[in-house]
Amino acid sequence: MLSFLRFFGVTVAAVWFGSTVFFTFFAGPAFFTDEMKKLIHPPYNGAVAELVLGRYFILHYVCGLLALAHLGAEWMYSGKVPPRVTVWLVGGVLGLSLLGGIWLQPKLKEFHQVRYADQYRRSATPQQREAAAKSFSTWHGVSQTMNLLMLLSLWAYLSRVIHTGEAPRFVSPINKFGIDNRT
């Protein structure tokens, strides 16, 4: 069971980190290439990117919950308390994902729609459009910074899950409950 938990933990960390690398460096920027702009004209390429970004955050939520479940299961079966740094890494990335997906993305979507009000059949003054464009740029920068922080944190988490450490990783089930086997 412990080898399965280890394999599960490494798999979750690898999928989480790999999907973040893929989206950050390949899938996300693809929506704003010249080829994509010919297929899906602006601002609709941004709208499609928002749809994919919604799925990206769902993947983060699932991986974060699975990582927390893994840490809890490993603690129960091995008796070894997970290092605080590892718990903080998982919790921090999950928290940033929730913050980005639930709070920041709807805000960016609203700014995007006000910025391109004509295409979305919304009414907005030129001042509102300009303010929305400026706010979008600022909050998009915050979003990119959060994504970079998540990427670095996931890299650290993956390295911690792969590395078993110097001390014995697992103890016998009898000793974990404090039962002395000298009786």
pLDDT, tens digit (0-9, with 9 covering 90-100), for 127-149: 999 999 999 999 999 999 999 99
Domain count within the chain = 1
Is the pLDDT score of 29 beyond 90? yes
pTM, rounded to two decimals: 0.84
Is the pLDDT score of 182 beyond 60? no
Radius of gyration of the chain (CA): 22
The answer to whether residue 54 is domain-embedded is yes
The answer to whether residue 180 is domain-embedded is no
Instruction: Please provide the average confidence, as pLDDT, over all residues in the chain.
Output: 90
The answer to whether residue 175 is domain-embedded is no
Closest by CA to 96, choosing from 158, 148, 50, is 148
Q: Is 24 helix (H, G, I), strand (E, B) or coil?
A: helix
Lookup result for tokens 């910025």: 115
The answer to whether residue 168 is domain-embedded is no
Q: State residue 100 phi and psi, 5-degree precision.
A: -70, -45
Q: State residue 167 phi and psi, 5-degree precision.
A: -75, 160
- Residue range 8-30: average pLDDT? 97
Q: Count the neighbouring beta carbons within 10 Å of the beta carbon of residue 98.
A: 14
Q: Which pLDDT value is given to residue 155?
A: 98
The answer to whether residue 21 is domain-embedded is yes
The answer to whether residue 124 is domain-embedded is yes
Which structural domain range is residue 98 located in?
2-163
Cα end-to-end distance, the chain, whole Å: 27
pLDDT, tens digit (0-9, with 9 covering 90-100), for 69-113: 999 999 998 888 899 999 999 999 999 999 999 999 999 999 999
Q: Which pLDDT value is given to residue 3?
A: 87
- Residue range 119-129: average pLDDT? 93
- Residue range 5-16: average pLDDT? 96
pLDDT band, residue 171 (cuts 50/70/90): low
pLDDT band, residue 2 (cuts 50/70/90): confident
Q: Which pLDDT value is given to residue 160?
A: 94
Q: Which pLDDT value is given to residue 100?
A: 96
